[in-house]
Amino acid sequence: MNEHKAHTKSIETISTANNNSNNNIALQIDEEAEKKEILRRYRKLLKSIKRKITPEERKNIRKAFDLAVKAHANIRRKSGEPYIYHPIAVAQICAEEMGLGDTSIICALLHDTVEDTDITLQDIEKLFGKKISTIINGLTKISNVLDNNKSIQAENFRKVLLAMAEDVRVILIKIADRLHNMRTLEHMSREQQIKIASETLFLYAPLAHRLGLNSIKTELEDLGLKYTNPEAYNEIAEKLKETEEERKKYINKFIQPVKKALEEKGFKFRIFGRPKSIYSIHNKMAKKHVTFEEIYDIFAIRIVIDSEPENEKSDCWEVYSIVTDIYHPYPDRLRDWISTPKSNGYESLHTTVMGPEGKWVEVQIRTTRMDELAEKGYAAHWKYKEASQERESRLEEWLRKVREALENPDSDALEFIDDFKLNLFSDEIYVFTPKGDMKTLPAGATALDFAFEIHTKIGEHAIGAKVNQKLVPLSHVLQSGDQVEILTSTKQKPSEDWLKFVVTARAKSKIKAALKEQRKKVAEEGKEVMKRKLQKLDIPFESDIINEMISFFKLPNVMELYYRVAVGNIDLPELKSFKKYKESKHKKSTVENNEKIETLVTRTRGKGDLLVIGDKMEQLDYKLSPCCNPIPGDDVFGFITTDEGIKIHRVNCPNAIHLLSHYAYRVVKAKWVNEHLLSFLAGIKVKGIDKLGLVNEITKVISNEHQVNMRSIKFDTEDGLFDGEIMVYVHDTKHLNRLIKNLKKVEGVTSVYRMDGVES
Asked if 452 contacts 482 with a C-beta cutoff of 8 angstroms, the reply is no
Asked if 503 contacts 449 with a C-beta cutoff of 8 angstroms, the reply is yes
Asked if 585 contacts 548 with a C-beta cutoff of 8 angstroms, the reply is no
Q: Establish whether 419 is a catalytic residue.
A: no
Cβ atoms < 10 Å from Cβ of 603:
13
Asked if 7 contacts 39 with a C-beta cutoff of 8 angstroms, the reply is yes
Q: Establish whether 116 is a catalytic residue.
A: yes
Look at the alpha carbons of 520, 521, 524, 529 in this order and tell me if their dihedral is positive or negative.
negative
Asked if 137 contacts 170 with a C-beta cutoff of 8 angstroms, the reply is no
Report DSSP state, residue 142.
Answer: P
Check residue 144 and give left, alpha or beta (phi > 0: left; psi -120 to 50: alpha).
Answer: left
Q: List, as one string, the DSSP characters of 182-214.
A: HHTGGGS-HHHHHHHHHHIIIIIHHHHHHTT-H
The Cα 107–Cα 11 span in angstroms is: 20
Query: Exposed/middle/buried for 68, CB within 10 Å: 0-12, 13-18, 19+?
Result: buried
Q: Which one is catalytic: 32, 115, 238, 598?
A: 115
According to DSSP H, which parts of 73-120 are helical? 85-92, 102-110, 113-116
Q: Which one is catalytic: 31, 81, 96, 116?
A: 116
Please state, in angstroms and as integers, the Cα–Cα distance from residue 73 to each residue in 9, 10, 15, 602, following that order. 14, 11, 7, 33
For residue 179, the surrounding DSSP H or E stretch is helix 169-183
Torsion of CA 455, 456, 461, 464, to 10 degrees: 50
Count of residues in the chain = 760
Angle (CA) 392-395-397 rounded to 5° is: 110
Which residue numbers are catalytic? 115-116
